Structure formats: structure tokens, C-alpha cells
Amino acid sequence: MTGKERFLAALNHKEPDAVPVDFGATAVTGMHVNCVIALRERYGLEKRPVKVHEPYQMLGLIEDDLQRALGLDVEGVFAAETMFGFRNENWKPWPLDDGREVLVSKHFRTTKDANGDTLIYPKGDLNAPPSGRMPKDGFFFDTIVRQDTIDESRLDPADNLEEFGPISEADLAYFDAETNRAAATGRGVIATFGGTALGDIALVPAPFLKHPKGIRDIEEWYVTTLTRRSYVHKIFEAQTEIALGNLEKIRARVGDRVQAAFICGTDFGTQISTFCSVDAFRSLYLPYYRRINDWIHDYTPWKTFKHSCGAVFSLIPSFIEAGFDILNPVQCSATGMDPLRLKKEFGADLVFWGGGADTQKTLAFGTPAEVREEVLRRCEIFGKGGGFVFNAVHNVQANTPAANVAAMIEAVKEFNGRR
């Protein structure tokens, strides 16, 4: 099978010749840039600076030579702009705090504060307030919340819709070109078109806007989902209408070059519980996600991808009812997220994309032997009957030992060699 064929079989709950593997196709299935550097060295690939394609989490671009070495089956099409609101173009060198050099967009503009922290600016505009901070010797950016004092009498849902609007011709041309490029690789394709994530807490503070208006404080947003429900419904209703109009235009340009669409990165789980009740999810989120997913299923061949970390077992039936086809990152270490139970109860309805190795413990701090054992066990559980795309539990974090990452990859190859 080709990578695309393998990927399609898994998405359609048919057992392929091998478990398809993804690293780097989305902003939640990638690797920190220093891990990509280490892997290139480990596999003896050409020495050249690695591109930081997702600056918020400092994810490194996994280029074709490393994709081949790792045996990857999925190619990603990313949003037209990064989390800081600029395009990846005209790459330039940039030094990490450890002295190594990476490549970043020409719009990636930073300063250092008195503590040695790195500040980054929305749209690359140094005249705007910074929207991200990387602590000295840190590994990724934290959002800087820029919240004006809230005046209840002047709250307007339109202020939380500033970032949404009709898709531009430039972005349509970008997706046209990028899906053509991705499809030509022979791998399966997942695309992140943007605009369909409702209340994603990484997006609420709007690090991509110079002067965001509305409710942009993280704590205040969570309070708002409980105390200002009508306000949130108005945002979600308008956002959904805009998204459906944009999806129609995108579909006309990219057609069936795409097999999966990244719809939602909104996290609903903590390590031990959920951020909201099942009733709250069904009331506040489910109707809008169902409209988006139903449109995609009615008018495209794409499968829809839902990302949520944490202990979301109680919400999974509602995810399925909302029309999601894929669940990521499958955080098996969270309360109630036992792999055997997940596969038994939901494996007929959901594709599990992730869950292959615990990035919080085993992959980061275990031995290569422990990594191998966990990967083989997860592949055995999730791979039966298809419905599984191998990935770790969320992005591979900075300073994860290259030996462990290699052990993970080799274990998947070992498992696939037994089939």
C-alpha cells in the first residue's frame, strides 16, 4: 500500500498492511525543533538548520528526507498563518538560547526583556504589544494575555469575532497550492483550514491580533462559558456561519486532495476530569460542531479531526454525536482513558490518532526498552481492525532523548513487520 492508501484504510476502519504513522502533519502531532535537530543527526541526514514552522510551540518542520527515514504516511497542510498571525516565508536564521541556529519566517520578530525572556509580536509588528513570551532558556512561547477592563454594558460578541471573516483569495490560492503539493507526495493529507475551532483556549487570547478586543483573558473566558452563555452562543453561531461559507469556497478549490480536516483543538479534559459537564458540552458546543461536521460529511469525502487532551471519556459519546470521526491525542494516562476500554467502546465509531507513546512520562523519561514495550502494546490494542493512526500523545516535547524517539519509531516498524 502507498501511504495514502494505508491512511485511507485506517480512516475507514479497515485494517491496512501496516499501521499508518504521522509526525508533523498537524500542530498537535509534531515535534519540538530541538528533537527534529537531534533526529536528523541520529539518522545521518544532511546537516542544515531546521525550520520552525509553528513558532508558538516551536515545532520543527519534518522535511521529506526525515519523513522517509521515520516511515511517515501523512502529510500536513497548515493554516495560512501561524499562531502569531504571519506567514512562513523568506526564512532567516535565528539563534536558540542554547546557541543552536534554526530558521524562522522573516516575520518572526523578537526582542529580549530585562530578564532575558524572548518576546514575540503579532504580525511581526514591533510597534504592537508583544503577544508571546519564551522564558530565558525556555522551549516555547506562553501567551501574553492582553485584556482590557471589561465593561458589562459594552460587551459585544462582535469583538470576539474580529479574527473571523470571509476567506481571502490569497488564502484560497495558498490552500490550492499546498494541497497540490501535499497530494503529490503520495502520503495521506490532513489540512488545517482554520476558523472551525470553537472556544479553543489557545486561540481565545488571539496572539495573532495586534489589539484584540472582547473577552480575551483565559480565566475570564472559562467564567464566561458559565455566566454569559448567550454571549458565547452568539459568537459560536456567527463563527459557524462564517466557517460554513469558507468551507464551501475551500472545497471548490481543494476537492478530494484532502482526506482529513483538522476541525477543533478545543481541550475539554484535565489530567483527572473535564473542564465542563456533559450537559454543558451538549448545550454550548455540540449543535455548532454538528452543523460543521454534517456539512463536511454531506459535501466532501473528508474525515473530521477532534483534538482534546485529558480525561474526556465521558464526553466521547457526544463527540461522536457531534460528527467527529477522529480523536486525538488519546491521552491514555488521564483518568478513565484506558486503551482497551476506549477501543472496545468507541473503536467502531472513532479513529484513534495518537495514544502510541506517553510524552509526559515514558517517552520523555523512560528507557528505550520501556518505550518499545509501550508502543508495541498500544499498536496491538488500537491497531486491530484499523481505525488507528500512530502518533505520540501530543507533540514530542523539547529535550526528549533521541534514543527514545528512535525506539518509538523502530517499535512501530517492528510491529508492522509482524503483520
Q: Could you report the per-residue pLDDT of 234-293, keeping only the tens digit for each?
A: 999 999 999 999 999 999 999 999 999 999 999 999 999 999 999 999 999 999 999 999
Residue 148 clears pLDDT 90, i.e. is over it:
no
Q: What is the mean pLDDT of residues 37-64?
A: 97
Which residue range forms the structural domain that includes residue 328?
3-30+70-83+145-417
In a domain, 128, yes or no: no
CATH number at residue 227: 3.20.20.210
Map grid coordinates 516511515 to a residue.
Answer: 71
| Phi-psi category of residue 358: left, alpha or beta, with phi > 0 → left and psi -120 to 50 → alpha | beta
The distance from CA 13 to its chain's CA centroid, rounded to whole angstroms, is 22
Q: What is the mean pLDDT of residues 71-98?
A: 97
Residue 419 clears pLDDT 80, i.e. is over it:
no
How many domains does the chain divide into?
Answer: 1
In a domain, 394, yes or no: yes
Residue 345 clears pLDDT 80, i.e. is over it:
yes
In a domain, 129, yes or no: no
For the entire predicted model, the pTM comes to 0.97
pLDDT of residue 160: 97
Residue 22 clears pLDDT 80, i.e. is over it:
yes
- Can you read off the three cell numbers belonging to residue 110? 523578537
Give the whole-angstrom CA distance, residue 156 versus residue 224.
Answer: 13
Give the whole-angstrom CA distance, residue 199 versus residue 225.
Answer: 9
Assess contact for 13 and 383: CB atoms under 8 A: no
Split at pLDDT 50, 70, 90, the class of 418 is confident
In a domain, 346, yes or no: yes
Residues 6+ apart with CB under 8 A from 349: 320
In a domain, 216, yes or no: yes
In a domain, 408, yes or no: yes
Mean pLDDT of the chain: 97
Q: What is the mean pLDDT of residues 115-141?
A: 97
- Can you read off the three cell numbers belonging to residue 311? 480525561
Assess contact for 324 and 350: CB atoms under 8 A: yes
Q: What is the mean pLDDT of residues 368-388?
A: 98
Residues 6+ apart with CB under 8 A from 218: 143, 145, 201, 204, 205
Residue 5 clears pLDDT 90, i.e. is over it:
yes
Strand pairing partners for 306? 264, 327
Judged on CB neighbours under 10 Å (0-12, 13-18, 19+), 68 is: exposed
Residue 233 clears pLDDT 80, i.e. is over it:
yes
- DSSP 3-state of 390: strand
Strand pairing partners for 52? 60
In a domain, 44, yes or no: no
Q: Could you report the per-residue pLDDT of 162-191, keeping only the tens digit for each?
A: 999 999 999 999 999 999 999 999 999 999
Helix ranges restricted to H, 124-204: 169-184
Give the whole-angstrom CA distance, residue 198 versus residue 265.
Answer: 8
In a domain, 38, yes or no: no
Assess contact for 25 and 407: CB atoms under 8 A: no
- Can you read off the three cell numbers belonging to residue 136? 530565558
